[in-house]
Structures are given as C-alpha cells and as structure tokens.
Structure 1
C-alpha cells in the first residue's frame, strides 16, 4: 500500500535519464569523440616523398591553352586548295563532255559509230561514213548495191593503174607529160567524187527507198558511164590509157603498150558494168514504186527542213521587212 501513498507530483530525485545503462555505456566507451576525430590519419609519407616531391611553391604556373581558331593564312590556304580542287573537277567534266560530243559527232545522223573507211584506231583520220549492207539494205536490193560498191573499188584500181601506165609512157616519150599530169588529176578527182556522187546516193536510195536519191543517182551515174566510155576509147592528150593511146604506144615500146592495153581493158570493163548496173538499178527502182512526184516532195521537204536554208530564209525575210519599213531617202 506504500506505493499508493507516494506523491505522484513529488520531484523524482532518483529517476535520472542519464543513469540509464545504455547511455552510460556509450559515454564511458573508449571511442574518440566527434571533436577529436581526424579524417586524415597520420600515415607514413616516405614512399610518396620518394616518388613525387611536393612543390614548395604555393602557386601553380599558368599554362596557356592553344587557340582552336585557325589563322588567316590557314583559312586562305584551305580556300585556295578548295578552289584548285573545284577547278580540276570542272576541267575533268569539260574534257568528258568534249569527248562525248566528239563521239556523238562521229556517230553521224544514224546514231551509230562510223565504220567506213575501215581505218585503224591509232590512225589520226577517223571513219566518215556508216555502212552495213546486211542491216541497211533489203535482201532484194543487196546484191545490186554490193555490185555498185565493187564497181567503185574496181574504178579506183583502174585509175591508179592508169596513172602508172601514163608514167611509164612518159618515161619513154616526154610528149606524154600532159597525159601523166591529167592522170594524177583524174585519180584525185574521180575517186572521192564517184563515191559521194553516185555510190552513196544509190546506197541511201536502197536504204530508205528515197525517190530523190534514185533520181540523183541516175543523173550522175549516166554521166559516169559516158566518162567510162571516153576513158576506154583513150583520146590522146586526155590522160587516159585507152585503146587509141595504147595501140599508139605499142609501136614505140611494146612493154609500155602492153601495160596500157591492160588499162584499156579495165576501162572497157568499167564502161560495160556501168551500163549493166544502170539498167539493173532502174529495174529495182520501178519495183519500189518511186516516182518523179515523190522525188519533188522529198526535195522540197528536205530543203525546207534544212537548218541552213531556214536561217538564210529568216535572214532574207528580216532584211526585206526592214527595207520595207525603212523610209525612202
């Protein structure tokens, strides 16, 4: 009952919270207090001093960092190098364009590479024409077209032999100097002109069934047949080793006369073949349905669609218009 008699409002002298065993255990421990704790314990620094001695200066030297911005000279050099590179690229592209343009020009209007005359690639002169009988010429006209081509080659050989024959007779008699000079002229003149004036027109006529090309061939080839006949006759002082000139040369020199007779035979063969082929081409022409009216239409269309003719006509029209509106002085 004594416990109930105690005064609850009395001063608890015996109840000290710091006398608690858990508190007294912590306070009486041997651990260092917070005030005495050293986060940098004392260790031996002999090994560190042996490797990296501490700096005695309290200040560190200032180190200048290199600037990352390029200098004006470097910028100018880079710009110049860039310009040179662009110039080289433009020159390379220009050379490529020139090469392609030359290649397109060499192909001609057909869009195919020219193959005639068949010259080696290293030759400075390139082929000027495209020719392919199996592709361009129909089967029914191919044989006649090839025969005309062979006639042109045979004519070139005959003209060259005619030059040699005239040279031979000139060595025996100086009076034949005119024949030798004219034989050189006929060789230089007739070889390209015969190719352009009667062989290529008949090739184009058979290729595209062109009435205008047929008419042009007939007119020129008829004149060529007449020339073959004159060359075979061999009129003196005309530069041809025909029959008259050859028989005359036989009397003075048999060897030279024999050479001229061979050339006269060649001219005779050319004349005979030209007449036969003229008739054969005319027969093929009649079967193609070509006519003089078609030739006129093709000629007019070719003239009016020609760029040179259009430019000349435009210039003439503008000149006439200016003259009409210009007041008379």
Structure 2
C-alpha cells in the first residue's frame, strides 16, 4: 500500500473538510472561558461573570373551570323562607322550642309564686302588729290614718295581678270622673240656676260613691283573688253588677239626677256651649268607665269559673266566718244559755 505524502498522516490530503476534529459539532464543545473543564479550570483566575437576572417562577396554570350545570340555579325571593331541612324536622324543632318556652314560663310563674308565699310567711312571722296599713296613702301629720293594707305584688298571685291592677285603675277613673261631674254640674248651675238639684246630687254622689265603691266592690274583689274566697267573689259580682248599671245611668245623664251625661249635656248645649263641652267630656268618661266595667266583670267571671269556686264553698266560708266571729259566738252562747234556762224552769 502506498503511503501518503506527509509521512503517514491519513488526514493530510483530505484537508479541513475531512478532518474529524474540525467538525463544528466538536469545535463547539471545546474548552472555552464560558464552558470550563477540569483540565483548563484555574481557581485563581478571576472572571467577571455576570449573574443572570432573576426571573420569577412561572405560576402554575389554574385548573380549567368545571362545566356549568345544565339546570340554572333558582334565586330565592326575599319573602321566601330558606330550606334548612325537611318539613318534619323543622316542625319537630319548632314544637320542641315551644314546649321549652312553655315550661320556662311555668317555672318562672312557680318561682314568683314561691317568692310571694315566702314574703307572706315572713310578714306573718313578724306578726300583724308590725304590718301597718298603707291605704289610703295619707301624710303622717294627718289625723286620719290609713285603714287598709294593700300590696298587689305581694298578696296577689302573679296570674291575677294584672286584673286586680286594672280594677284598681278603674276605681280611680270612676272617682276622678265623679269629681269632674261635680265641677260640670257646678258650671251648669252657674249658667242655669234651675239645675240646683243636679248640683247638690253631684256633690252627694262624689262623697258617697268614692268610699263605698272601694269598700263594697273593690276590696271584696281584692280579697277574693288574695285568698281564693268564693264568698268574696259572690259579694263582688252582686255589688259590681249594680255598679255597672249605675255607670250606664251616669253615662245617659238624666236631667236632675246629678249626672253630666249625654242628655244633660245636650240640654245645656242650648244655653252655654263651653259648659256643654265640659259636660260632654264627662259623659264620654262615664261611657268609657261603663264599657270597661262590663268587660272586667265578664273577665273576672271567667277567671272565677276556672278557680274551682262554687256557691257551696261560699256558704261554707260564710258559715265559718260567722261562727269564728267572737261577738257572734258570744251572742249565740248567751241565746243558748237563755233557752236552756227557760226550758229547765218550765212554764
């Protein structure tokens, strides 16, 4: 085999194109300042290599939104209640809540009743001498002292306190109306001297009905609710029914009876307008008192029927009250002794 001109170099004749070390793919991987290898790396050589600029990481792509449902969501109207569960669940929860509220009210009522009874026992332990009368509320310098003891919050059960308070305000309204009736009759007498009898009777009614109404129907009603007394209930019903009839007559206002009712006001309207307006105001008050009296009579009668009171119980209370009176017992004993003595003596 013939040798080449360059002394056996197989790549001498082929030139740069046939030299495999001149291949661009090999040349680009030769050692360079940018790509240092272990052979050419000098740790003492200083190179100024600029750090690459900071690039924030690319955020991860969000998951694709789910496909909307085919059925559009229905918006609730402001008045439509939200559905928090089945109807049976809601009904049972509401029933349980109502039952708890009812039991809580009953417990509160029993607690108030126990407090009231405890106060009563405390007052009874102190003795009747220490419990001073407080009604009517008179000043200490007045020669007349209070005649009754009244404390609705202490002596009346909780469920009846509102009724007793309403009756007390009704008595106050009737008393104030009688005073205004006296003033209206006085004004009517001033403009027409023929109304002298009405003026005198108005003064009599104001002085007579004010204490009598308190003693005859308010105090029996108060004692009936305080001690659940059937006898006092019957006394109240009998007298307050007559009082309601009187309220109606006062509202009508028959001339000459001393009541500034509707008829009397219309008669005075022909004489003096100002006095007639005052009398019409009194007639309106009499009408309101009469209506409220009828309503309260019906309400107390319904409460009376729920308390278990009866006519037989009223008779028993009356008999017990009569025979417990020392004066009655003394008179009965004297009568029995006299009768026995006469029987022994004979004819």
Whether TM-score is above 0.5 comes out as yes
Tell me the distance in 2 between the aligned counterparts of 1:133 and 1:182: 34
Q: Which moved more, 1:285-294 or 1:187-196?
A: 285-294
Paired position in structure 2 for 1:94: none
Does the aligned pair in 2 maintain the 1:159–1:187 contact within 8 Å?
A: yes
Paired position in structure 1 for 2:322: 303
Paired position in structure 2 for 1:178: 197
Tell me the distance in 1 between the aligned counterparts of 2:175 and 2:234: 24
Does 1:228 find its partner at 2:230?
no
**Kindly tell me: are residues 216 and 111 of structure 1, through their superposed partners in 2, closer, same or farther at Cα, counting changes over 3 Å?**
farther
Provide the TM-score with structure 2 as the length reference. Answer: 0.62
Paired position in structure 1 for 2:221: 202
**Kindly tell me: are residues 108 and 164 of structure 1, through their superposed partners in 2, closer, same or farther at Cα, counting changes over 3 Å?**
farther
Runs of at least 4 residues off by over 6 Å: none
Does 1:238 find its partner at 2:238?
no
Paired position in structure 1 for 2:149: 130
1:77-88 pair list within 5 angstroms: none
Does the aligned pair in 2 maintain the 1:221–1:278 contact within 8 Å?
A: yes
CA RMSD of the aligned region, Å?
1.6
Does the aligned pair in 2 maintain the 1:212–1:296 contact within 8 Å?
A: yes
Does 1:281 find its partner at 2:300?
yes
Q: Deviations over 1:32-88 (max 9, x none)?
A: xxxxxxxxxxxxxxxxxxxxxxxxxxxxxxxxxxxxxxxxxxxxxxxxxxxxxxxxx
**Kindly tell me: are residues 179 and 108 of structure 1, through their superposed partners in 2, closer, same or farther at Cα, counting changes over 3 Å?**
farther
Could you tell me how far 1:154 is from its partner in structure 2?
0.4
Q: How many residues align?
A: 222
Could you tell me how far 1:179 is from its partner in structure 2?
0.3
Paired position in structure 2 for 1:254: 273
Q: If each structure's helix is expressed as a fraction of its own residues, which one has the higher value?
A: 1
Which consecutive unaligned segments of at least 5 residues does structure 1 have? 1-106
Paired position in structure 2 for 1:218: 237
Paired position in structure 1 for 2:288: 269
Which consecutive unaligned segments of at least 5 residues does structure 2 have? 1-125
Give the alignment partner of residue 291 of structure 1, picking from 310, 313, 318. Answer: 310
Provide the TM-score with structure 1 as the length reference. Answer: 0.65
Tell me the distance in 2 between the aligned counterparts of 1:257 and 1:127: 38
Give the alignment partner of residue 144 of structure 1, picking from 145, 163, 168. Answer: 163
**Kindly tell me: are residues 108 and 162 of structure 1, through their superposed partners in 2, closer, same or farther at Cα, counting changes over 3 Å?**
farther
Tell me the distance in 1 between the aligned counterparts of 2:127 and 2:207: 25
Could you tell me how far 1:318 is from its partner in structure 2?
2.2
Tell me the distance in 1 between the aligned counterparts of 2:128 and 2:302: 29
**Kindly tell me: are residues 257 and 235 of structure 1, through their superposed partners in 2, closer, same or farther at Cα, counting changes over 3 Å?**
same
